[in-house]
Structure 1
Amino acid sequence: MTRHPSDAPTPPPAGTDNGPAVSREEFDALFATVRAWGRWSPADRGAWNRVTPDLVRRATALVRSGTVLPMARPWDTSPGPDNSRPALHYMSELGDLEAAEPSAHKDFIAVDYHGKAVSHLDALSHVAYRGQLYDGRTARDCVDAGGAHFGAVSALGPLVTRGVLLDLPAVLGCRWLTPGRAVHADDLVSAEQALGVTIGEGDAVLVRSGSLRRRREEGAWDPGAASAGLHVDAMPLLAGRGIALLGGDGDSDVRPSPVEGLHSPVHALALAAMGVPLLDNLDLEALSAAGAEEGRYAFLLVVAPLHIPGGTGSPVTPVAVL
């Protein structure tokens, strides 16, 4: 039986290894291996095209207890080492200024959401590699001051599919993975076996490192300098399984990056090569606890990004239904 991470010790220092190192030449060969250009229409929905009505129906059959678990972090208006661009929230209208009934209260919100503090979805226009977006589109031709004209979040629409949680601290018997700890393909396979799930076609894969629990217990740090996440050698496995979405409680990349000269190689592989949108900065703690309690790690997942024409992504509250 899998231990819940609340009962487990802190991971050993050896967990900080983010190797092996990968050269740019090796990375380019890996990019070519997982590349899925020219595969789908419409192209700017990328791997979301894998989710057919039949897969949606099968995903809804996973609902048993009816437990609904939102996975977004709170709107964060406080600056910190992981929040250099805090969100804005202020009241724009107060009811005591109105004579008419009923009175109204209005507020304003704004956020530069691509970063480490806001739960958000990365659309395919968010990242280019060697000047190219997914499907070989030239980034300069597709993204300008008016927004994205290919791969915008508005092209994606809502996603309803089977979600799979790979709860690595629960599998490894630790409270969280040490920042800098790389998650490799064999770690993902071991997690599948331990948790009784198998990643399949059209799935949304969520990888928990326990980073939010660490933040709550030990305080914030700069995850751009050190964070647990996927090593690039895990991506061929996910490409081969045919996933539609990838996410986690970080931004999926291990840092420091194992690839010379690339700060976010998993982003490049997922978005620009595979056409797989990313969910960043999720709160997976309640889902982890529910998975341990119910003894299952597959669930119905609903993701509904804002309809932003030209947007490179969207703040989002993904919802798991068990």
Structure 2
Amino acid sequence: MSDSRDLPDFDALPPVEGMPKGCAWGVFDRDGHKDKLGCLNLLTADTVKAAYAEARDGVTISLNASMNLLKVPGGPRAATGHKVLSWAEDVSPSACGHLKVLDDEVSFNTQASSQWDGLCHFAHQGTGLGYNGVRVTKAGLEDPDERGDLPGLEHWHKRGGVVGRGVLLDYLAYTRAKGITYEPFSRYAITIEDLENVAAFQKTDFRKGDILIVRAGVAEALEGLNGEEQLGLMIKGQGGMAGVEGSEDAAKWFWNKHFAAVAGDTFAFEVFPPQKPDGSLGDMGDLVLHSYFLSMFGLNIGELWNLKTLGEHCASTKRYSFLLTSVPLNIPGLVASPPNALALF
């Protein structure tokens, strides 16, 4: 099944043994082949052609934050490193001393700035299984013979990257217009009702295969701060991060809208820390939307995108939809990647 017109709603998804209700494994399988793209299958030729109509003003906006956005010292993910190499001084001075040539080397963690979380990033924690029932391991992603069967981001290139209709829900601008205040660095949940209110306020409609983007103001609050200042914001918020509510009802809403992908400017797209069924606060393993989106729906999540300029342009033109393009790095077995995303108006 690959046509969005055939997609069952959340409550009608066929049960999958050992998995919670709402597991979409097998929905996009075709001709006996196990799917590796998930909801990107909704970007059909007709859907993409319709999205081209959004690019008519000659305006392009980058949605990518600086690769050294996060500078918090001592974090679990390495900061971006950039080394400039002079052929005359560093590569082979004796042989290349006369050459005026520069190279560079870059090292970074793919979670340290704007990113796509690929379908190998977060397994269903109870079973350890990833999207479509595969067991993703470090060894498997590093094995050239095994990783081809895993839903790594390199498979995006086989379909020509991602091109579709992007839709911005600018929650930050909406709250400013309505006199609502909140701290991006706090456990502030943006509810599904909030998202629907923003859509109504903007007069924004949704279509199957849309790429939904939510602006909450987190990434732009980090821009220009040093590591100690960023850490100060996080300490003040006691580790809380604003984001979309993490609940089964929220997961159901997203699936039933049949988005091709989702993204935002927050750390996890969903609010952190997550709330467990007993009402207590959990840790990363308790992220509800990550579990549904990545491991059960096959719905990629973009995080820490740079949405300030996009929000300002949408507000000035009263247009909140656009042609979105994105091409991750083409590395076999890649778990996450800078999005290299553009909005075209």
TM-score range for the pair, normalised by the shorter chain length: 0.7 to 0.9
- Call closer, same or farther: CA 1:166–1:176 in 2, change over 3 Å: farther
Q: Which runs of 5+ in 2 are unaligned?
A: 1-18
Deviation at 1:224, TM superposition (A): 9.2
**What is the rounded CA distance, in whole Å, between the counterparts of 1:258 and 1:112 in structure 2?**
27
Q: In the alignment, which residue of structure 2 is the partner of 1:14?
A: none
**What is the rounded CA distance, in whole Å, between the counterparts of 1:202 and 1:151 in structure 2?**
19
Equivalent pair of 1:176/1:211 in contact (CA under 8 Å): no
Q: Which amino acid aligns with 2:153?
A: V
Determine if the alignment matches structure 1 residue 85 to structure 2 residue 92: no
Question: Does the residue aligned with 2:83 lie in a helix, a strand or coil?
Answer: strand
Q: In the alignment, which residue of structure 2 is the partner of 1:39?
A: 27
After TM superposition, list the pairs within 5 Å mapping 1:1-322 onto structure 2: 32-41=20-29, 43-76=35-68, 79-80=71-72, 84-95=77-88, 97=93, 98-100=96-98, 103-114=100-111, 117-129=112-124, 130=126, 131-140=128-137, 143-146=140-143, 148=147, 149-157=149-157, 158-173=161-176, 177-178=183-184, 179-216=186-223, 219-220=229-230, 221-222=233-234, 225-231=239-245, 232=247, 233-250=249-266, 251-259=268-276, 261-263=282-284, 264-322=287-345
**What is the rounded CA distance, in whole Å, between the counterparts of 1:82 and 1:293 in structure 2?**
40
**What is the rounded CA distance, in whole Å, between the counterparts of 2:139 and 2:22 in structure 1?**
22
Deviation at 1:268, TM superposition (A): 1.2
Question: Does the residue aligned with 2:71 lie in a helix, a strand or coil?
Answer: coil
**What is the rounded CA distance, in whole Å, between the counterparts of 1:268 and 1:291 in structure 2?**
31
Equivalent pair of 2:69/2:223 in contact (CA under 8 Å): no
- Call closer, same or farther: CA 1:190–1:88 in 2, change over 3 Å: same
Q: Describe the superposition over 1:156-183 as per-residue Cα deviations: whole angstroms up to 9, x where unpaired.
A: 2210000010100111225765421111
Deviation at 1:213, TM superposition (A): 3.2
Q: Which amino acid aligns with 1:35?
A: C
Question: Does the residue aligned with 1:108 lie in a helix, a strand or coil?
Answer: strand
**What is the rounded CA distance, in whole Å, between the counterparts of 2:116 and 2:243 in structure 1?**
17
Q: Which amino acid aligns with 1:34?
A: G
Q: Which amino acid aligns with 1:304?
A: V
- Call closer, same or farther: CA 1:311–1:82 in 2, change over 3 Å: same
Q: Describe the superposition over 1:24-66 as per-residue Cα deviations: whole angstroms up to 9, x where unpaired.
A: xxxxxxx834321101135111110110011111111011222
Q: Which runs of 5+ in 1 are unaligned?
A: 1-30
**What is the rounded CA distance, in whole Å, between the counterparts of 1:109 and 1:150 in structure 2?**
26
Equivalent pair of 1:177/1:209 in contact (CA under 8 Å): no
Equivalent pair of 2:88/2:98 in contact (CA under 8 Å): no
- Call closer, same or farther: CA 1:90–1:216 in 2, change over 3 Å: closer
Q: Describe the superposition over 1:198-230 as per-residue Cα deviations: whole angstroms up to 9, x where unpaired.
A: 222111111110113333488423389211111
Q: Percent identity?
A: 24
Deviation at 1:316, TM superposition (A): 2.4
Q: Which amino acid aligns with 1:80?
A: V
- Call closer, same or farther: CA 1:197–1:281 in 2, change over 3 Å: same
- Tell me the matched-pair count: 290
Equivalent pair of 1:73/1:282 in contact (CA under 8 Å): yes
- Call closer, same or farther: CA 1:317–1:79 in 2, change over 3 Å: same
CA RMSD, aligned part only? 2.6
